[in-house]
Structure 1
Amino acid sequence: MNKYTLKERLKIGRQIYSHQLTVNEVAVKYDINHYTAK
């Protein structure tokens, strides 16, 4: 698991917020805990 910069985290968050990806898809794609992705 690697750390993401603030800009990267915001980009990931926008994808979830705009319903482009689900929380679980993001967790698998970016290798992060799905609770963190929420």
Structure 2
Amino acid sequence: LANIVQRFGNRVREALMTASEAISNAVAEAEQNAMVR
């Protein structure tokens, strides 16, 4: 059971890192677009 929980935790952490990276990229793009206008 501990292995399953640990594996699930690693997946969640990876997903969160990927999501936060995507969000920060989107924010950076939005800021650049705002500056261009």
Q: TM-score, normalised by structure 2?
A: 0.39
Choose 1 or 2 for highest CA Rg. Answer: 2
Tell me which of the two structures has the higher relative contact order, counting C-alpha pairs closer than 8 angstroms and 6 or more residues apart: 1
